[in-house]
Structure 1
């Protein structure tokens, strides 16, 4: 191995190690990878810039921005209102079927986020019986088309960067539809494995921190005298006094200055607490809380993880204050400002006027519900968006125009008709993903130029030399699947792609079959709440434990691997 190959190998190994074992954001890790490649002169900066404008990457970004217009249409809202029935099996079939269909063309995170709210508010069926299948169905549906998941688009960008024409819109469909059908069948047959977690409506799961001012008329009187146990929408569960917790709270407890009262209740009726004399809520934007409450989930790549609200400068960073916090379906009392945030935490925010225009929201949160009433699209605008998107997809499939060209025109029309705003596009721009793909493409180029990919492929070829090429294909598939559970789907696809190409060349077979192994393997996140965004969304809302993903997801993963191992070589021969 040459010095150049050793240097690239070291950067590659450190990148994987950092992704698996550190808490750093993937974008920061890949930024370091890119800088290391340039600083060590293993790659030219012009090469990195060319990777940044790869047509596949730009198409992915355009698609993610265009999906905002589709989210605003009445399609998801209409289905959400009519999907749930008293019969669990019927509701499950409806939800998983629609989630899979919608995720074939729309951003699957947006689809799941839109359906979470009606599921958690209904009381016919435990939300834990529906949310995990909803997430898995969205993942499976995304495998059926080129635009169904960002993973397919990422793989396509690598494929195009290697000098190949873009993969077709329905290139993934023969294998994807089989995975979808078999996966949905497994989901339905194994619904008994889903936990029956009885959680009250989400509003009642939030805790609100109220501080007693020294001049408050509540001071010196008992809880009973202040009628703090007689509120209509809130229940007093804890008093925090000089850093010590008093729980359970007895009616005879006397209120003292600077006490913090922790209430549990329906956050939509927050004004009931605001009317208490001489108190201040943790979120000081009291004038905003009645009509500007926004629920978010802390993303796994957020820089807020491990920090408290105060140390992160939360209010200045987002023009928002935290009203309540909930963790993994469990109530989390205590002083909100002193709690360290974790991935998957639900936060209820009182948002200021500048909140929606902040460009850093998607770097830290998934917005899953918004109590600010957004004006619905008119019938004409609904028609423009839905028919316009259908038209550009049809033209792209027919080869009349490229998908990128169609999406750019679609976005322009949506801006012109005020369906979406330029400020929204700035906020939604997936800068982190763009940076990750650019760095990964550059790393792949360095691996190819240095000969490292060929060297590794030669070693793997020797390892599998006594076996068939099909066994090597299975090895790439399973390695990608394991990696996606550890470092997320897009990072797994980016890291495994160059190795898959070189291994295919070492066997002197068509590379497309190995590339498809990476694409489908990187989408197979059924064993962990952290491998895919939709899993993280439902993890907290459904009150699931990590073991629930393994119990319910393992049969899906096994069937997924078997179907992929059989059908990919059939439709994409070696």
Structure 2
């Protein structure tokens, strides 16, 4: 038994060391640990398979897949469009509030990813003043509910694996809401510590022509009232009205039926223009608007040079319609279909089925790349997805169905209505996270069955024997906080859980208080860009330095630990 404990301890320490000091992927490290357990016959493949289909683990995977449908809705993008204004304080309050609220019910990484582009592309407030608070607010919001963060779901899967019923949807709420409220205040007061960084990156700007249909609700309202100046990825260059150009476009200009609006923006995000009510892109007139576009450059020997798309019979010639045009970064006046083409023009094409088989492509074009453009959901589909997910949450909270059952039906409905595609879910399946949790659950089982957890707990118990159990609780919390900054939140939770359970048992107290210390401690990633995925997202985008996270996150970390240390024992008594 002693040799087995020593082997498990070596694997445990080796796993932590590899996570901290190596550049290997966490999934590879945990896989290696799992193979070591198999090789030494400490654990079996059957045990790991049982852990892999733990109801808590499967629920987490289902939730991450279901969140894909919610990502496709325009709710977050529309809110972000209205939240961004020139007043830095008001913008910060709106964005952090939105991020926290959304992260209570959605995967917080998906929330930050959805808001990243609108913040990056606006020029009202430097993005560096908003992105770290956005990430921290998402982390804090995620602590309020069971599904708000993968950390809570991971801890719940471990809790269920020990034979306990699933934690309730709002089990984390009393402590989480206090952390959220105090955290937002600290971030707001500390906002002057954020750097001002102007990040410029080369974007593929295209000129896109859309037509305002007579029934459009945009008609009769000004540019400002229609929020056409607040688009995330496009700028309104000019209006073509009855053959005449209106440029520059002022906020007071009134939209009329049959107006042609010429926008300049990023080709990858054309779906934003499609969300405007009652408009059609040029390609949609030809019935060719697709979610896979082709970018080409007009060759010097092309017979299209000097002609317009209309006069050249472009649609019939290539089975493709032009969605956007780019010419040396300069504005091109006039309707897209009536622009005279020049050598070197970049064209964005919505290609039909026969496009690739046309034998005249090489003569006219140089193929640049295929561009994947996500088609926006219709208004009906938007409300259907939001309503369906809300129904699942209500049914779960009221205990009419389990969360897993509700999510299974929700995913099936999204597949049936083609809101998401099966191929898309296969691509997005969180295989790495599944491997990490499965391996960690197997390791935890080995630590308990070998007696290592009990031995460590007894040693720690003797250390804290002259102190109250609260000090042991605080020790677990602090070690988890440190570990989550060194490795990742899920890895920290997985590694600390078995030790927390054993330590609670050695004191003969309620293990849930120690479990909550692990859950909240693993989410306290405010000092490093590497401990949490949302931090890593904003780190690369905002042009930050490591010290920026330390400077801004240190006061928040101190407040977070203090509140957790006081409130967890109150709501989850020893």
Q: Same fold (TM over 0.5)?
A: yes
Corresponding position of 2:258: none
Q: Hey, what's the Cα distance between the residues in 2 that align with 1:15 and 1:455?
A: 19
Gap change, CA 1:371 and 1:175, over 3 Å in 2: farther
Corresponding position of 2:74: 74
Shift of 1:267: 7.8
Corresponding position of 1:346: none
Corresponding position of 1:440: 440
Corresponding position of 2:24: 24
Q: Hey, what's the Cα distance between the residues in 2 that align with 1:198 and 1:415?
A: 41
Shift of 1:277: 7.6
Q: Hey, what's the Cα distance between the residues in 2 that align with 1:422 and 1:267?
A: 28
Q: Hey, what's the Cα distance between the residues in 2 that align with 1:557 and 1:470?
A: 19
Shift of 1:204: 9.1
Q: Hey, what's the Cα distance between the residues in 2 that align with 1:506 and 1:529?
A: 36
Q: Hey, what's the Cα distance between the residues in 2 that align with 1:496 and 1:291?
A: 53
Q: Deviations over 1:218-277 (max 9, x none)?
A: xxxxxxxxxxxxxxxxxxxxxxxxxxxxxxxxxxxxxxxxxxxxxxxx9869x9996798
Q: Hey, what's the Cα distance between the residues in 2 that align with 1:444 and 1:109?
A: 27
Corresponding position of 2:534: 534
Q: Hey, what's the Cα distance between the residues in 2 that align with 1:272 and 1:496?
A: 50
2:186 aligned with 1:186, yes or no? yes
2:121 aligned with 1:146, yes or no? no
Corresponding position of 2:469: 469
Shift of 1:120: 1.0
Corresponding position of 1:431: 431
Corresponding position of 1:389: 389
Corresponding position of 1:219: none
> Given that residues 99 and 141 in structure 1 are in contact (C-alpha distance below 8 angstroms), is that contact kept between their aligned partners in structure 2?
yes
Corresponding position of 2:489: 489
Corresponding position of 2:514: 514
Q: Give 3-state SS (helix, strand or coil) of 1:167's partner.
A: coil
> Given that residues 128 and 194 in structure 1 are in contact (C-alpha distance below 8 angstroms), is that contact kept between their aligned partners in structure 2?
yes
Q: Hey, what's the Cα distance between the residues in 2 that align with 1:181 and 1:375?
A: 37
> Given that residues 96 and 133 in structure 1 are in contact (C-alpha distance below 8 angstroms), is that contact kept between their aligned partners in structure 2?
yes
Gap change, CA 1:170 and 1:267, over 3 Å in 2: closer
Shift of 1:373: 3.2
Corresponding position of 1:556: 556
Q: Hey, what's the Cα distance between the residues in 2 that align with 1:410 and 1:98?
A: 24
Q: Deviations over 1:416-463 (max 9, x none)?
A: 000000001100111110011000000000000000000000111111
> Given that residues 120 and 202 in structure 1 are in contact (C-alpha distance below 8 angstroms), is that contact kept between their aligned partners in structure 2?
no
Q: Hey, what's the Cα distance between the residues in 1 that align with 2:199 and 2:67?
A: 32
Q: Hey, what's the Cα distance between the residues in 2 that align with 1:191 and 1:421?
A: 41
- Aligned residue runs from structure 1 range 313-392, under 5 A: 372-392=372-392
Q: Deviations over 1:264-317 (max 9, x none)?
A: xx9869x99967989xxxxxxxxx9x989xxxxxxxxxxxxxxxxxxxxxxxxx
Unaligned runs of 5+ in 1: 206-265, 279-287, 293-351, 354-369
Q: Give 3-state SS (helix, strand or coil) of 1:164's partner.
A: coil
> Given that residues 57 and 434 in structure 1 are in contact (C-alpha distance below 8 angstroms), is that contact kept between their aligned partners in structure 2?
yes
Shift of 1:384: 1.4
Q: Hey, what's the Cα distance between the residues in 1 that align with 2:423 and 2:295?
A: 34
Q: Deviations over 1:320-347 (max 9, x none)?
A: xxxxxxxxxxxxxxxxxxxxxxxxxxxx
Corresponding position of 1:544: 544
Corresponding position of 1:417: 417
Corresponding position of 1:92: 92
Corresponding position of 1:455: 455
Corresponding position of 2:115: 115
> Given that residues 120 and 201 in structure 1 are in contact (C-alpha distance below 8 angstroms), is that contact kept between their aligned partners in structure 2?
no
> Given that residues 496 and 518 in structure 2 are in contact (C-alpha distance below 8 angstroms), is that contact kept between their aligned partners in structure 1?
yes
> Given that residues 74 and 382 in structure 2 are in contact (C-alpha distance below 8 angstroms), is that contact kept between their aligned partners in structure 1?
yes
- Measured on the aligned residues, the alpha-carbon RMSD in Å equals 2.6
Larger radius of gyration: 2
Q: Hey, what's the Cα distance between the residues in 1 that align with 2:552 and 2:300?
A: 49
Shift of 1:375: 1.7
Q: Deviations over 1:374-422 (max 9, x none)?
A: 2211122112111110011101111111000000000000000000000
Q: Hey, what's the Cα distance between the residues in 2 that align with 1:120 and 1:388?
A: 31
> Given that residues 291 and 372 in structure 1 are in contact (C-alpha distance below 8 angstroms), is that contact kept between their aligned partners in structure 2?
no
Q: Deviations over 1:538-574 (max 9, x none)?
A: 0011110000000000011000000000000000000
Corresponding position of 1:47: 47
Q: Give 3-state SS (helix, strand or coil) of 1:140's partner.
A: helix
Corresponding position of 2:15: 15
Gap change, CA 1:272 and 1:490, over 3 Å in 2: closer
Q: Give 3-state SS (helix, strand or coil) of 2:531's partner.
A: coil
Q: Hey, what's the Cα distance between the residues in 2 that align with 1:173 and 1:272?
A: 49
Corresponding position of 2:156: 156
> Given that residues 121 and 202 in structure 1 are in contact (C-alpha distance below 8 angstroms), is that contact kept between their aligned partners in structure 2?
no
Unaligned runs of 5+ in 2: 206-264, 269-293, 302-319, 325-350, 353-369
Aligned residues: 430
Q: Hey, what's the Cα distance between the residues in 2 that align with 1:378 and 1:267?
A: 21
> Given that residues 102 and 141 in structure 1 are in contact (C-alpha distance below 8 angstroms), is that contact kept between their aligned partners in structure 2?
yes
Shift of 1:46: 1.3
Shift of 1:52: 0.6
Corresponding position of 1:360: none
Deviates more, 1:67-76 or 1:53-62: 67-76
Q: Hey, what's the Cα distance between the residues in 1 that align with 2:474 and 2:27?
A: 29
Shift of 1:201: 5.6
Gap change, CA 1:467 and 1:158, over 3 Å in 2: same
TM-score by length of 2: 0.72
- Aligned residue runs from structure 1 range 260-271, under 5 A: none
> Given that residues 121 and 201 in structure 1 are in contact (C-alpha distance below 8 angstroms), is that contact kept between their aligned partners in structure 2?
no
Q: Hey, what's the Cα distance between the residues in 1 that align with 2:56 and 2:202?
A: 40
Gap change, CA 1:277 and 1:502, over 3 Å in 2: farther
Q: Hey, what's the Cα distance between the residues in 2 that align with 1:372 and 1:42?
A: 47
Q: Hey, what's the Cα distance between the residues in 2 that align with 1:463 and 1:182?
A: 33
Q: Give 3-state SS (helix, strand or coil) of 1:203's partner.
A: coil
